[in-house]
Structure 1
Amino acid sequence: MIQLKHSSRQVGFTLVEMVTVILILGILVIGVSSFVIFGTRIFVESSSIDQVLGQSRFAVERMTRDIRNSVPNSVRIRTDNSGNFQCIELLPIEASSSYLTLPIYPNASALTGTIVDNNISVGNGLFAIVYPLANESITGVNDVYQASRNKRFAVQSASSSANIITLTFGGSVQFAEQSPIKRIYFAAQPVSYCFESIAGSAEVILNRYSNYGYIVSQPVPLTMGSGVLMAENITNNLLLEPAIKVTEQNLMTNSIVHLEPRFSVNGETFKYQHQVQVTNVP
């Protein structure tokens, strides 16, 4: 009888093989994790840059629209002597037209006037402005903000008939001067854009203020209530590197507002050099 012998063989890993596999897996994990961390860092930094770029574009575009659409000679700038803020104030136009009859000196004062109805909406809450000529930075007075100049009067109501709008004022009024082209503007309330330094920091923020009323002397941020944050990460030194500059108008050209805010993100900076022409045709 033949007996068959069965041999048993043990299968496994040696210590050297296990250590080798662990080292290889560790190298792979380190490589993959470094790639993931690097990719995540790029994504976070790109997102931060895109956010600041989008925010800055929005702020500059909003300022541009308001400045370009402002009542003639309503733009004025105030910079704090300590460099804590720099503000630009203006009066956005809500509507404009040509007037037919208005109580304008030397005519007697009256409660009403008529304008051309060119599909505009005029009513309570708006002010009628005629020939705002005096600019504060040149003459020391301002036809827009100083009620005593008799260039701005509140509209109480308006009614339209046969392409003519009849304005009713809040009282008997008399405008100071005729407009050479019989132009009339309608506006509500002034707005201000203020670059403000953050205490204890080199950072500057941009706020927009509104609904604070007409003030003869250009107001400062603390007197205008709560502003709406428009942009952050601004690094201008407002005394040495103003964020706003103005080239005043003359007989040949309109005034130009220069917007030059500098933004910083992730150690990199970029600066706008944007010019806005202010149409001064009262």
Structure 2
Amino acid sequence: MKMKGFTLVEMVITLLVGSILVLGIAGFVELGARGYSDTIERQRLQTQAKFVLEKMSREIRHAVPNMFSDDLILAGAQSCISFYPIETSGFYAVSGADLQFVVGSENSTLASLQNKSLVINPTQANPNNNVFALNAVKSVSDTYLLENVASSLVGESVSNRHYIYDPSGEVSYCIVGQRIQRIEDRSRVTPISDTGVAGDLTYQPASVQRSGVVHMQLSFTNERDDETTYFQQDVQVLNVP
């Protein structure tokens, strides 16, 4: 009877070929997994960048015109932009020595206007003129009244527009420690990005030809593989004098 089987050489060759095939397949699997992981991380970075840019742009567009500053307000900050969000706005009229005004928000009351400030035709980050505290404001029919302040008006608004804001509600965005930080009233700090952020936040004041512009030039770096994505965006600050 003739015996059939494998020789030792054949078994060794089979093991070697099988090992090579397993290693090759494992390499393909690892390559695919790494590509998927890189895609997810790249998408996460892009989503974060879009969130940061959109959040900053929306707040900037709804800020009091011209009351912007790019001073560095935090120690170690690489770049900053500061502004005051508009609480409400409306129109005013001079009535003798008094200033009468209406607001666009139907929910505004005397109580809601307390500790707020009204500004007319602002031209700088912290204007010295045309800013009136509303603690002594009075309600007259459907309008509000500030008594004996009209004489201090300098450079009135051509469209009789006013803005009301919270003087203790300044908002700032700063790049600190490779993060973008949102700061309220220069004290309450909230990070809105991961690490790996660099760039500049600058403000160009309004001119005769255009409104003010906030220029955002940011880079977001994936620290795992050092891949960097660059973003540039200009946000126009609507200026209705």
Q: Structure 1-normalised TM-score?
A: 0.69
Task: Give the unaligned 5+ runs of structure 2.
Answer: none
Instruction: Tell me what 1:92 maps to.
Output: 85
Following superposition, the deviation at residue 59 of structure 1 comes to 0.7
Instruction: Tell me what 1:121 maps to.
Output: 107
Following superposition, the deviation at residue 94 of structure 1 comes to 3.1
- Measured against aligned partners, the alpha-carbon deviations of 1:240-263 in whole angstroms (never above 9, x if no partner) come to xxx122222222322211110122
8 Å Cα contact 2:138/2:144 also seen in 1: yes
Matched, 1:75 2:34: no
Instruction: Tell me what 1:206 maps to.
Output: 180
Instruction: Tell me what 1:226 maps to.
Output: 189
Matched, 1:193 2:161: no
Percent identity between matched residues is 27
Matched, 1:107 2:85: no
Following superposition, the deviation at residue 230 of structure 1 comes to 3.2
* Bigger-Rg structure (1/2): 1
CA distance in 2: counterparts of 1:119 and 1:97, whole angstroms: 8
8 Å Cα contact 1:155/1:167 also seen in 2: no
8 Å Cα contact 1:129/1:184 also seen in 2: yes
Matched, 1:281 2:205: no
Following superposition, the deviation at residue 50 of structure 1 comes to 1.1
CA distance in 2: counterparts of 1:226 and 1:254, whole angstroms: 29
Instruction: Tell me what 1:257 maps to.
Output: 214
Letter in 2 for 1:272: F
Aligned CA distance change for structure 1 residues 81 and 185 (closer, same or farther; 3 Å):
closer
Aligned length: 231
Following superposition, the deviation at residue 74 of structure 1 comes to 1.4
Q: Which stretch shows the higher mean deviation, 256-265 or 72-81? A: 72-81
8 Å Cα contact 1:205/1:229 also seen in 2: yes
Letter in 1 for 2:102: I
Following superposition, the deviation at residue 76 of structure 1 comes to 0.8
CA distance in 1: counterparts of 2:45 and 2:23, whole angstroms: 33
CA distance in 2: counterparts of 1:119 and 1:84, whole angstroms: 36
CA distance in 2: counterparts of 1:262 and 1:125, whole angstroms: 40
Instruction: Tell me what 2:123 maps to.
Output: 134
What is the RMSD of the two structures over their aligned residues, measured on CA atoms?
3.3
8 Å Cα contact 1:207/1:231 also seen in 2: no
8 Å Cα contact 1:125/1:156 also seen in 2: no
Letter in 2 for 1:32: I
8 Å Cα contact 1:90/1:192 also seen in 2: yes
Following superposition, the deviation at residue 232 of structure 1 comes to 3.2
CA distance in 1: counterparts of 2:75 and 2:173, whole angstroms: 18
Instruction: Tell me what 1:180 maps to.
Output: 158
Aligned CA distance change for structure 1 residues 82 and 192 (closer, same or farther; 3 Å):
closer
SS of residue in 2 equivalent to 1:70: coil
Which residue, 59, 78, 98 being the options, matches 2:52? 59
Letter in 2 for 1:135: Q
CA distance in 1: counterparts of 2:12 and 2:136, whole angstroms: 90
Following superposition, the deviation at residue 17 of structure 1 comes to 2.4
Task: Give the unaligned 5+ runs of structure 1.
Answer: 1-6, 137-141, 199-203, 213-222, 237-242
- Measured against aligned partners, the alpha-carbon deviations of 1:138-196 in whole angstroms (never above 9, x if no partner) come to xxxx22xx6xx4514246999897xx3x4488xx7836425332212233422110111
SS of residue in 1 equivalent to 2:188: coil
